[in-house]
């Protein structure tokens, strides 16, 4: 039977390969993308690579709460149970910008948008659904500075902002897995490797030859996501962080702090408006399939 996978950020890089491989492995795919022209181009490519798969595009700018809400509403209305929710999209901006909702753009795109999307789609997960957050090894260098995130005048250090957002991905995953215990739905996160994609800052791309053999292509960069999405060996594994070799690793000490996980959950619920939302995550998440 075909499964249904939702993947964010499939216009380029790791997400594009992830969507293609899932489509070729008996999944119908919902691509959540902000660039609809690029998404249509990728959809055409996937239709050729996987003619049996139904490939859908839903517009979504993860940096906008309104856009995420609209996309989640479309998904809930138009599609059945999700077997996979893959929060892949991400940015690593080199300059300070604020989202339309008033949050630092990297944090808004990489954490707050996916947090809201996941919360709004949780009740649509199939009984043995898998939620996968594409984090990064750089979360090891991250620390949360919540006051700066909502401060347009805060000092901006690109690498620190990106590391903070990726630490948030791991904290989110672990807090989510705790809430999902006993439901059958799993939540895991991963480091894909250092992958030669558009995400890499220009200066890092310029020293590509030096980085070899550490730098991998996007085909290899999608391997851990695909492993977590499809391997039977991780069907019951939840609340783990995997490296680029598909091995579960201990995440950074900061990511394992339950108090920090809960503090981030709390502030994310308030900032995204989930606190006042009828669709706020219930304590016991219903997962029965239709």
Ligand X SMILES: NC(=O)c1ccc[n+]([C@@H]2O[C@H](COP(=O)([O-])OP(=O)(O)OC[C@H]3O[C@@H](n4cnc5c(N)ncnc54)[C@H](OP(=O)(O)O)[C@@H]3O)[C@@H](O)[C@H]2O)c1
Options 173-181, 198-206, 235-243, 280-288: segment touching ligand X (CB under 6 A): 198-206
Options 43-51, 56-64, 123-131, 262-270: segment touching ligand X (CB under 6 A): 56-64
The reply to whether 251 sits near ligand X by the rule CB under 6 A is no
Instruction: Kindly list the catalytic residues.
Output: 162
Selected from 61, 83, 104, 269, the binder of ligand X by CB under 6 A is 61
277 to each of 242, 257, 269, how far by Cα in Å?
32, 27, 9
Q: At closest approach, how far in Å is the CB of 2 from ligand X? A: 24
The reply to whether 198 sits near ligand X by the rule CB under 6 A is yes
Q: At closest approach, how far in Å is the CB of 127 from ligand X? A: 27
Q: Which is nearer to ligand X, 150 or 194 (CB)?
A: 194
Options 44-52, 57-65, 181-189, 256-264: segment touching ligand X (CB under 6 A): 57-65
x-or-dash string of contact with ligand X, 88-127, rule CB under 6 A: xxxx-----------------x------------------
Dist CA 128 CA 118 (whole Å): 16
Q: At closest approach, how far in Å is the CB of 214 from ligand X? A: 10
The reply to whether 238 sits near ligand X by the rule CB under 6 A is no
The reply to whether 63 sits near ligand X by the rule CB under 6 A is yes
Selected from 112, 199, 252, 255, the binder of ligand X by CB under 6 A is 199
List contacts with ligand X (CB under 6 A).
8-15, 33-35, 38, 60-63, 88-91, 109, 134, 136, 191-192, 194-195, 197-200
């Amino acid at each position: 039977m075909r499964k249904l996978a939702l993947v964010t950020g499939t216009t380029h890089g790791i997400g594009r390969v992830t969507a293609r491989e899932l489509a070729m492995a008996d999944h119908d795919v919902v691509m959540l993308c902000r660039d609809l022209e690029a998404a249509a181009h990728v959809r055409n490519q996937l239709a050729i690579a996987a003619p049996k798969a139904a490939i859908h595009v839903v517009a979504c700018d993860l940096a906008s709460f309104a856009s995420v809400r609209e996309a989640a509403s479309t998904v809930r209305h138009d599609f059945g149970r999700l077997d996979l929710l893959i929060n892949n999209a991400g940015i690593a901006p080199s300059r300070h910008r604020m989202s339309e909702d008033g949050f630092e753009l990297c944090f808004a795109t990489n954490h707050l948008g996916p947090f809201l999307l996941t919360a709004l789609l949780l009740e649509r997960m199939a009984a043995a659904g898998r939620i996968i957050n594409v984090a990064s090894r750089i979360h090891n260098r991250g620390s949360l500075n919540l006051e700066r995130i909502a401060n347009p005048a805060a000092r901006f250090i690109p690498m620190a902002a990106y590391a903070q957002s990726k630490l948030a991905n791991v904290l989110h995953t672990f807090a989510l897995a705790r809430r999902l215990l006993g439901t059958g739905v799993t939540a895991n996160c991963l480091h894909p490797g250092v992958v030669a994609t558009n995400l890499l800052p220009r200066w890092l791309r310029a020293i590509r030859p030096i980085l070899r053999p550490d730098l991998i292509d996007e085909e290899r960069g999608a391997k851990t996501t695909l492993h977590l999405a499809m391997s039977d060996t991780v069907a019951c594994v939840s609340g783990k962080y995997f490296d680029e070799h598909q091995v579960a690793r201990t995440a950074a000490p900061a990511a394992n702090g339950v108090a920090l996980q809960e503090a981030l959950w709390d502030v994310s619920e308030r900032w995204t408006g989930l606190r006042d939302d009828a669709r706020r995550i219930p304590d016991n998440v219903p997962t029965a399939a239709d």
